[in-house]
Structure 1
Amino acid sequence: MPVLRHIIADMIFDLHCHSKASDGALSPAELLQAAEDANIDLLSLTDHDTIAGYLELREHPTSVKLIPGIEFSCQWNGINIHIVGLDVDPDNAQLRTAIENQQAVRIERARTIAAKLEKLGMPGALEGALKYCSDPGRVGRPHFAQFLVEAGYVKNAKQAFDKWLGNGKCGDVKSLWPEIETVNHWIQEAGGVSVMAHPLRYKLTFSKLNRLIRHFHETGGRAIEASDQQGNKNLLKRMQELSTELGLLASAGSDFHSPEWAWCRLGQVSPLPSAMKPVWTAFKNTPFTAAIDID
């Protein structure tokens, strides 16, 4: 099927990005316009713990094939892990309840982060972060980063994460998040595909990454973001080999948040590994014509 192979090879996709519905800089409509401008064929808006952005877009006329998605926060062995749910049913009652639970956790977590920052001499962080977030239930660390920049404590968002908000820093509060198996269950109940987001960014040794990926797979995980333009090439190769061994599907996304972030442009996604099947071959709620298995 040479024509179909050509369609798949040339398809531009992005299955991990964010809008103002969580912590992105663009409104859902602006993000969709940016996707059209970038000639993206397949897009999933995966805002943190909400599908509000997708709901705004699902009746919007567009040339882009939209896949309903969400990025859930969870934990494994005290490490903050992100799981993307793709092709979920946005009207599923279990999914809606899960989102309500996560947003309640976000509010409590934000209070904890603000209290820690105040102890370090940075008062007013919660109010400052909420200025950049229209819904308290969606507040996240990028909103705190914006406050820290505005208040003059850091020069930019990267410095905010490096000093105060990143993994292992005072703003890295994860004890309130559910375990991986809970999030996998939520996504399964909503008919979706669980995808481990950016596995190389957790800064794990291969031994720990091996255990994490195997646990994710054993508890219902079905795919992994298998391309990483910024990751360690040797570790990336070993991760891809392990994922292939386990039969995990391959996904990828830019993790786009803002046009100002040059390192993650919308649609800037590395090719999927040839040895792994693409995640869209498992989509049922929103099947894509180029997802036909051509093996």
Structure 2
Amino acid sequence: MRGIDLHTHSNCSDGTYSVKELIDYAHEKNLAAIALTDHDTVIGLDEAIGYTGKKYSDIEFIPGIEFSTVNEGKDVHVVGLYIDHHNKEFKRRLQAFADSRRERNEKMCRKLTEEAGLPISYDELLEAFPNAVITRAHYAKLMLDKGYVNSRQEVFDKYIGDHCKYYVPRENITPEDAIELILLAGGVPILAHPILYHMSDEKLEALVVRLINAGLKGIEAIYSTYEPAEERQIRNLAQKYDLLISGGSDFHGANKQKIDLGVGFGKMFIPEDILTDIKNARAN
């Protein structure tokens, strides 16, 4: 049985591989399927669909997205698989989300320029990273290139980390909002990497129950950073609430250097047979 990867990023958000490089690498890794799940954008999906279809008949490409949402003041991510990214209402609402993200970035640039004395503009970010959804990883790269800092980590520690003076929170989109959008696009909503939220078992289970009521279909039980006990915990949670099992490396290329496509830190394996149930969930 071949492996798959249902959580990856390209340079259309905060990954470093182009869409074509990512698909080529999936073929090199002998993956049976790959989902592109860039943060809050579907910019790369048409290129990926066309390129995969033309070049690799042995790879299934799955159009996806990863929504960055806020739950009780903390980040919670929701992946959508098999989305119809051309759905008109989905596109309209995604654009509204993108507009609020742009306003937030413009404000953060002003704070860095006027308050921190580090001149940086939103136009400069767009020029440096064309066709990408601008994230804090892009700020870090540009600020390092401009000689403002000695490392990317310094950007987050001193300037735009969650609790730093120059950080501007994004407009809140809730996990329920993301689930609604994914369902609107005919996709399958998956709770991404739940272990990373560092919730108590009780809080995590309460979140899962709440999101099931909103239409959640699955959960990432296989993920790069999970220890065996953590994977068992999420699998048990999935079984308890009849959730689909999903999995992904969260591959970002050079931005997460130790995480490799399809295998995470080296031992992760996501079997292709989990796709059958995920595909069937699209019709429900």
Task: Indicate yes or no: 2:156 matched with 1:191.
Answer: no
Task: Indicate yes or no: 2:253 matched with 1:258.
Answer: yes
| Structure 1 letter corresponding to 2:30 | N
Change over 3 Å in CA distance of 1:218–1:253 after alignment to 2: same
Task: Indicate yes or no: 2:191 matched with 1:180.
Answer: no
Residue 225 of structure 1 and its aligned partner are, at CA, apart by 1.2
Residue in 2 that maps onto 1:278: 274
Q: Distance in 1 between matches of 2:227 and 2:92?
A: 37
Residue 188 of structure 1 and its aligned partner are, at CA, apart by 0.6
User: Residues 130 and 143 of structure 1 are in contact (CA less than 8 Å); yes or no, is this contact kept in structure 2?
Assistant: no
Change over 3 Å in CA distance of 1:176–1:13 after alignment to 2: same
Q: Distance in 2 between matches of 1:87 and 1:114?
A: 35
C-alpha offsets along residues 52-92 of structure 1, whole Å, 9 cap, x if unaligned? Answer: 21111212212311011111122111212221110111221
Task: Indicate yes or no: 2:128 matched with 1:132.
Answer: yes
Q: Distance in 2 between matches of 1:153 and 1:209?
A: 39
TM-score normalised to structure 2 length? 0.84
For structure 2, list consecutive stretches of 5 or more residues without a partner in the other structure: none
TM-score normalised to structure 1 length? 0.81
User: Residues 254 and 265 of structure 1 are in contact (CA less than 8 Å); yes or no, is this contact kept in structure 2?
Assistant: yes
The within-5 A match list for 1:73-112 is 73-112=68-107
Residue 184 of structure 1 and its aligned partner are, at CA, apart by 0.6
| Structure 1 letter corresponding to 2:49 | R
C-alpha offsets along residues 96-137 of structure 1, whole Å, 9 cap, x if unaligned? Answer: 11221221122012123324434344331535533432147x
Residue in 1 that maps onto 2:36: 45
User: Residues 74 and 174 of structure 1 are in contact (CA less than 8 Å); yes or no, is this contact kept in structure 2?
Assistant: no
C-alpha offsets along residues 191-221 of structure 1, whole Å, 9 cap, x if unaligned? Answer: 1100112222223333332332222222111
Change over 3 Å in CA distance of 1:155–1:285 after alignment to 2: farther
| Number of aligned positions between the proteins | 274
2:60 pairs with 59, 65, 80, which one?
65
Change over 3 Å in CA distance of 1:25–1:217 after alignment to 2: same
Change over 3 Å in CA distance of 1:272–1:247 after alignment to 2: farther
1:238 pairs with 219, 233, 238, which one?
233
1:54 pairs with 45, 59, 65, which one?
45
User: Residues 54 and 68 of structure 1 are in contact (CA less than 8 Å); yes or no, is this contact kept in structure 2?
Assistant: yes
User: Residues 67 and 286 of structure 1 are in contact (CA less than 8 Å); yes or no, is this contact kept in structure 2?
Assistant: no
C-alpha offsets along residues 129-160 of structure 1, whole Å, 9 cap, x if unaligned? Answer: 33432147x21111111123223344443453
Q: What is the aligned-residue RMSD (CA, Å)?
A: 2.8
Secondary structure of 1:252's counterpart equals strand
Change over 3 Å in CA distance of 1:197–1:174 after alignment to 2: farther
Secondary structure of 1:75's counterpart equals strand
